[in-house]
Amino acid sequence: MRPTPLDELPVHQVPLPMARVATSDRHFYDRCYLNAHDRTGDIFLVTGLGTYPNLGVRDAYACVRVGDLQHVVRFSDALDQRSTEQQVGPYRIEVIEPLERLRLVLDHPTIGLDLVWEGSFPAMLEQPHLLLGPSRPTLDAQRFAQVGTWSGTLSVAGTDHTVSPDTWVGTRDRSWGVRPVGDPDPAGRAADEPMEGFWWLYAPLRFDDFALVVILQESPDGFRTLNDATRVFPDGRVEQLGWPRVEIDYRPGSRHPLGARLHLTTPAGDQLLVEVETRGFVPLHVGCGYGGDSEWGHGQWRGRGWSSASTYDLASEEMMARIPWGVSDHVARATCGDAVGHGLFEHACMGRHDPSGFADWSSLA
């Protein structure tokens, strides 16, 4: 193993070269996620790039939903040397100003991107994410989140869209640590003791004068394993908003969230009600490589220079049957008092979740 260019920089945290990470766990990852939309939900871009040092893989994806069609392109390659460069094939992310401005570039016949991200509020470090399995952590990660605006050009299936910051907003995060990536582990004990359920809510929302970031994760019995609710102000102040109480309105006969009410509490004890309306959505497990995607998963070895492209009709019976079994990202319109904001409502409610009234995997609203 040789030194890499990163070893020239004062960024070391353990007595190892930067080609190695501090754990030998093959599930170690370092990944970014970004989304963009024009507030209507009619066009919704979700995209990201990941690095998996212990798997020797780097990959990226871009997904745009327009109407009922979800267009996805994916790229994967060998990770030969860690560096500050974030590129896989024709997809790249340029850091113009750390924690403030990024440029996203993709030249592909299905999806073309030349977009600049501008953070509207300071990036916020979230509480550590930890999810314990029967014998070891399945998720042990750190993440920061930010809301902002976009400018540039988005091309989908031959149609160009001008992206301007007065209309186009979005959210992004960067996370690193351990989570299930790459080819799946042998089923082992999990085959005899399958997961009873998974409940997750992530809502970063951008208002004119502040941003809200709410992250909740619960066990099937409702025990909260992650609670993080904050308000971020332009000057960098971060205000904790207590232990949120959540009410979600599901479409009858489904678990599709139509809206939600987030009951928050300021440090002074004042109640803060956030009402969310969901609009267009992207199921992350349909082509984007997230858990449950039957076609491709983050960190999987597909060979050098691999790429693929797919288009899905989300109104088809096949896709409608597939959508409930994963995490979906929804464009969100939100109100907080007189303030109106937009952002992301990411949600999954699979299997048993007692507070929602779902007894098992087949229960519906």
Q: What is the pLDDT along the chain (365 residues), one digit of tens a residue?
A: 788 888 888 989 999 988 889 999 999 999 999 999 999 999 999 999 999 999 999 999 999 999 999 999 999 999 988 888 999 999 999 999 999 999 999 999 999 999 999 999 999 999 999 888 777 888 899 999 999 999 999 999 999 999 999 999 999 999 999 999 998 888 777 667 778 999 999 999 999 999 999 999 999 999 999 999 999 999 989 999 999 999 999 999 999 999 999 999 999 999 999 999 999 999 999 999 999 899 999 999 999 999 999 999 999 999 999 999 999 999 999 999 999 999 999 999 999 999 999 999 999 99
**Residues 150 and 169 sit within 8 Å (Cβ to Cβ):** yes
The H-or-E segment that residue 344 falls in is strand 339-351
Superfamily of domain 27-183+195-356 in the CATH hierarchy: AttH-like domain (2.40.370.10)
Amino acid letter for position 192: D
Residue 155, Cα to own-chain centre: how many angstroms? 22
273 phi and psi angles, rounded to 5 deg: -105, 125
186 contact partners, CB below 8 Å, separation of at least 6: none
318 contact partners, CB below 8 Å, separation of at least 6: none
pTM (2 decimals)? Answer: 0.95
321 phi and psi angles, rounded to 5 deg: -75, -25
DSSP three-state, residue 189: helix
Q: How many angstroms separate the CA atoms of 334 and 345, rounded?
A: 10
